[in-house]
Amino acid sequence: MIPNLKDWTTSESKNYDDLAEVYRELTAYWRNYLRHVVPNIGGIYENAKTADQEGFVYESVPETIQKNAMNFLLEQAFKTPEWLLEENILKNIAHAGAIESIRRQQVSILNQLLDFGRMQRLIETEELENGNSYTLLEMMTDLRNGLFSEVTKGQQSDAFRRNLQRGFIERMEFLMTENPSIRDTRRGQTAVMVSQSDIRAIVRGELNKLNRTLKNNAYRSNLVNQYHVQDLSKRIEKILDTDND
């Protein structure tokens, strides 16, 4: 639809209001479709059953589906959506704002994924299913490797990816510092005492791993990306130093 959108929504002597409206709707559809994928990770199926029926009422989403969901998000949510960056659209609907719009959509999905309750369900499923599940450590490793693939390859990250990587660091800081009360399971939430769970140990370990990767690859790209990698490393160190105070 995107390559044809300008032609479909404009005509002679008509402004670009319809183009702007439809483009915003398409961007919202993209975000909403992605938001439907996230619950597969750390997800639980609820099966209506009576006591005489076989099987469980609550079952975790199969490991393969969770892995597929993560791969889908890495490809469709967190890679820069070049298809949305159509010059014929963007330069006719606003003087600026494309980078901020994409950042907002991507970070929203990232924050939904890195949720305390979701992370706790991954921990619990691993224990109850004797390791035959998609684990929190696997999820965090896949996410880190996917979001920072350019860094490890010495490639340049564009402004969209740099924003997303900073969004990841800020969410990790949230996970390390926020102290939410135990959630009410009657509202469909997952109860977790964050300070006493494995969540922060894993987050801290991931931050340390990422920081080593950043330091080892700090000078393998152009100057903007060098500054970016150095900045990420300082942000991580600040989080860990604050955590130790």
Q: What pLDDT is stored for residue 105 in this prediction?
A: 95
Q: What is the C-alpha separation between 158 and 98, in angstroms, rounded?
A: 13
pLDDT band at 138 (very low <50, low <70, confident <90, very high): very high
Work out the average pLDDT over 5-30: 92
Q: What pLDDT is stored for residue 245 in this prediction?
A: 47
Q: What is the C-alpha separation between 34 and 78, in angstroms, rounded?
A: 10
Sequence-ordered alpha helix ranges (H) in the chain: 2-9, 17-37, 63-76, 87-93, 98-113, 116-128, 136-147, 149-153, 159-177, 199-216, 223-244
Tokens of 5: 């959108």
Inform me whether the pLDDT recorded for 36 exceeds 90.
Answer: yes
Identify residue 158 by its one-letter amino acid code. D
Nearest CA to 191 out of 135, 112, 117 is that of 117
CB-based contacts of 6-10 (< 8 A; 24+ apart in sequence) = 6/86, 6/88, 6/89, 6/92
Quick: pLDDT tens for 209-241. 999 999 998 888 889 999 999 999 999 999 998
Q: What is the DSSP string of 30-71?
A: HHHHHHHHGGGTT-EEE----TTSSS-SEEEPPHHHHHHHHH
Inform me whether the pLDDT recorded for 95 exceeds 70.
Answer: yes
Cα Rg of the chain, angstroms: 21
Range of 176's domain?
A: 2-244
Domain count, the chain: 1
pLDDT above 90 covers a percentage of the chain that reads 79
Inform me whether the pLDDT recorded for 187 exceeds 70.
Answer: no
Quick: pLDDT tens for 64-81. 999 999 999 999 999 999
